[in-house]
Amino acid sequence: MKLLVKWLFAACALLLVAYLYPGVHIQSFGSALIAAAFIGLFNTLLRPLLVVLTLPVTVITLGLFLFVINALMFWAAASLLDGFNVNGFWAALLGSLIYSVLMLVVDAAMKAIFPRS
């Protein structure tokens, strides 16, 4: 149940990103659900591998390269899906930053909805 609620909140966060920033476009709530699932899968499966492979660059840039990795995950999901479009790398960077902040709010809401017992 917790996973489903977080998935719905993530889709709503994507819709809010598209509403707040004109560089990100989402056609429908169904497209947002699929995009949220893809972003979640990319962040779970690909992001740790990319973080390890780019560790020297991340250390040299004092962690700022992690923003690039987040933007690439966001952009990759948009390039694979119909109904979810991002207007270039800089739009992906800003969209992923907004999405990350919104997902922090979602995580806080999830802790309030599903407290540990």
Kindly give the residue spans of alpha helices, DSSP state H, lying in the chain: 2-20, 29-45, 47-53, 55-60, 65-80, 89-113
Instruction: Please give the backbone phi and psi of residue 40, each rounded to the nearest 5 degrees, phi first.
Output: -60, -45
- pLDDT tens for 28-49 read 999 999 999 999 999 999 999 9
Contact (CB, 8 A) for 68 and 94: no
Residue 69, both tokens: 């990795």
Sequence ranges of the domains in the chain: 2-113
User: What's the token pair of residue 49?
Assistant: 């591998």
What φ, ψ does residue 84 adopt, rounded to 5°? -135, 110
Q: Does the pLDDT value for residue 56 go beyond 80?
A: yes
- This prediction's pTM: 0.91
Res. 78: pLDDT tops 70: yes
Instruction: Look up residue 83 and give its two tokens.
Output: 């109904």
In the prediction, which pLDDT does 106 show? Answer: 95
